Amino acid sequence: MGDLPIGEPTQRDLVMTVTDGYMEVAAVKGIWALRRTTSEVTVYSPICTHLGCGFRWDGGARRFKCPCHGSEFDPDGKVVGGPAPRPLDRLPVKIENGHLLVQYKEFKSGTTRQIEI
């Protein structure tokens, strides 16, 4: 995680193995990581809480912006514009021996309450 810049959200590929019936397939999720200090990282699900589109970080505006219906979130994931009903979803993280470990989860979009699916 040493290559994550402090204070600037960065998109990283989270590679995981998913079981699909009897098959195991690799899945890649582009999570957003925000390193706050040398030892503290917040990771956001890449799925907009409105209707599930992928959002981007706009470094100039210091906002996450969703292209689908214009929702905007501040670096803490708080909704600052558009129709998103709740903040960005955070994923559980652990730092072990300098490595960032992320537990991937998905949540229902379009709800004010965070509901895991």
| Torsion sign across C-alpha atoms 71, 75, 77, 79 | negative
Contact 10, 59 (CB under 8 A): no
DSSP 8: S
C-alpha to C-alpha distance for 108 and 32, rounded to whole angstroms: 18
CB closer to ligand FES, 4 vs 52: 52
| 50 part of the interface to ligand FES, by CB under 6 A | yes
Please choose, out of 14-22, 64-72, 73-81, 98-106, the segment that lies near ligand FES by the rule CB under 6 A: 64-72
Could you tell me the smallest distance in angstroms from the CB atom of residue 83 to ligand FES? Answer: 6
**With binding defined as CB under 6 A, does residue 62 bind ligand FES?**
no
Determine, following the binding rule CB under 6 A, whether residue 69 of this chain makes contact with ligand FES. Answer: yes
Tokens of 92: 């559980």
Binding of residue 41 to ligand FES (CB under 6 A) = no
Q: Is 50 a catalytic residue?
A: yes
Residue 85 binds to ligand FES (criterion: CB under 6 A): no
CA atoms within 13 A on the CB side of 67: 6
Q: Among all residues, which ones are annotated catalytic?
A: 50, 69
